[in-house]
Chain A
């Protein structure tokens, strides 16, 4: 073997291992379980129009406050079918609400709001936080100082109260977007303001670190413009961190959305939403119908739990150094 061949062998980059989902699942059982939960919830929310049993918005779709049962006949004397003497069976997997809406269908559709608002919030919050951090850290000086103090101030206001104030401040004059109603857009903007300062702080640290790196210095030496350095050299190196921050803030965003809906500041009244279904009207009936208190909360907890454990193991897989920092 010639010297060149030997050197080639010694310095060869080992072939990149193909990502094997099964091996990952064995190494990160918690993460895999989280992924399963996420997939289940997404199927439930995504395929809600196929899986639902009755229109979630319709009053009196079933007997009011009826317990969960499968393929049962209605015992409600007031029900239209009963009065007309039609034999009539229904599925009430999760029971019905005090106004006779079907809770199973509402929980399915409620997942849509939570996932939609959560994902949109986190995307906007992470993107905006990253862009601001990039610009501020790169501009340095007064700009960096001012943005930093602004972030400090926003962090000092408790998140729920900030979102609450923002929600009432901007609620009226927003447009309806396709697939995102005005109320949902308000929630998204109010909650993403809550995540921006935290993302900004972490990202700023990262930009400062990367700016000192040798390859940025090399790019400066060959005369690359600041814009080019930011776009071609710094931004690609932040994607890993962005993914981790996104996956870790998502469950928190879903929780804030549910809390605001619970306070009555979420979606339009009557629209299925996990937070809203736990509040207001149904709260008075929790002692009569345990299912009212259990199922929307269980769905919410399961979703947040799934995203939490998946996010954790995603962080450990992508960048174990971040453990304990995020």
Chain B
């Protein structure tokens, strides 16, 4: 077990380096001069562009650029943004990551709670009216696009009650926790909708698979209360695929946060990355995508370790 975790931990940096290489190549082959977009057409004097490209090493061959980036990144220096004022990329990321992680965290917790409760209820009362309603609602939940729900939530209340959950006056959690949460809860709820629906569907199917197994019949026939049969025998044994899904959903949630931040006007990693992609600010794009990938890799690692807690039969 410890050996497995150590092996996985050793693999993480190699994987991140691999990801950074793929991303670098993607960004490197994109057409158009980063310098031109970054300093703007007002300064489109060829000499200026020349000087700009010289300064940020944009004229070097790709392997030199990548090597320099990687070497610096390994020592914790992620370079400066191409756009003025050339702030350190690390500072920009540090300013924005908190909000994104906060939304993502609340989303995943809410999705797990709602998804698991609905799924369990649906499985226990299978083929009842409640089950049919839940099944309809969950399929609708995974079918309705996040961004559509988000724009409806932003614009419809504005029409009806002259009120909108739009983050026009953004405050950080440390300044005013209550106000901050009252803003963040909206995008988190919308993102949680789709994830919860997916989780609920999987909980239902995987619980139904276990429901008719021999050990559940044994548990019932030895006189256990129904609640105990469901929680300790059925539910626990159906958790493995559910935990996998919740881990995988992290990726979808992180992607969804990008759009939710944009619609609700929240200064997070998503808005930062979108802006950077459009402005071709490649040091910023590369580092923030790496940050997303890093979060995902860590979550996957945690999920794999969790397997052994849920199911002691699994040993690595």
A160–B259 touching, CB < 8 Å = yes
B145–A158 touching, CB < 8 Å = no
Query: Bound state CA distance, A258 and B31, in angstroms?
Result: 24
Q: Looking across the interface, which residue of chain B has its beta carbon closest to that of A34?
A: B139
Q: What chain A residues lie within 8 Å of B258 (beta carbons)?
A: 158, 160-161
A255–B22 touching, CB < 8 Å = no
**Interface residues contributed by chain B, number (CB under 8 Å):** 51
B289–A157 touching, CB < 8 Å = yes
B145–A157 touching, CB < 8 Å = no
**Interface residues contributed by chain A, number (CB under 8 Å):** 46
B292–A161 touching, CB < 8 Å = yes
B254 to chain A minimum Cβ distance, whole angstroms, is: 4
A259–B30 touching, CB < 8 Å = no
Q: Is B297 in contact with chain A by the CB < 8 A criterion?
A: yes
The majority secondary structure among interface residues of chain B is helix
B145–A290 touching, CB < 8 Å = no
Interface residue from A262, A293, A324 paired with B156 (Cβ < 8 Å): A293
- In chain B between 260 and 316, which residues have their CB closer than 8 angstroms to a CB of chain A? 262, 273-274, 277-278, 280, 285, 289, 292-293, 296-297, 300
Q: What chain A residues lie within 8 Å of B273 (beta carbons)?
A: 161
> Top 5 nearest A-B pairs by Cβ distance?
A286-B155, A160-B255, A158-B255, A305-B143, A297-B148
Known A149-B15, A172-B32, A324-B202: A155·B155 in contact at CB below 8 Å: no
B252–A158 touching, CB < 8 Å = yes
Q: What chain A residues lie within 8 Å of B140 (beta carbons)?
A: 301, 305
State the A residues within 8 Å of B (CB). 30, 149-150, 152-161, 164-166, 168-173, 251, 255, 258-259, 262-263, 275, 278, 283, 286-287, 290, 293, 297, 300-301, 304-305, 308-309, 312, 323-325
A156–B148 touching, CB < 8 Å = no
Q: What chain B residues lie within 8 Å of A153 (beta carbons)?
A: 15, 18-19, 22, 293
Interface residue from B30, B151, B202, B274 paired with A283 (Cβ < 8 Å): B151
Mind listing 9 A-B residue pairs with CB under 8 Å?
Answer: A153-B293, A156-B297, A158-B255, A158-B296, A169-B30, A283-B155, A301-B140, A305-B143, A324-B206
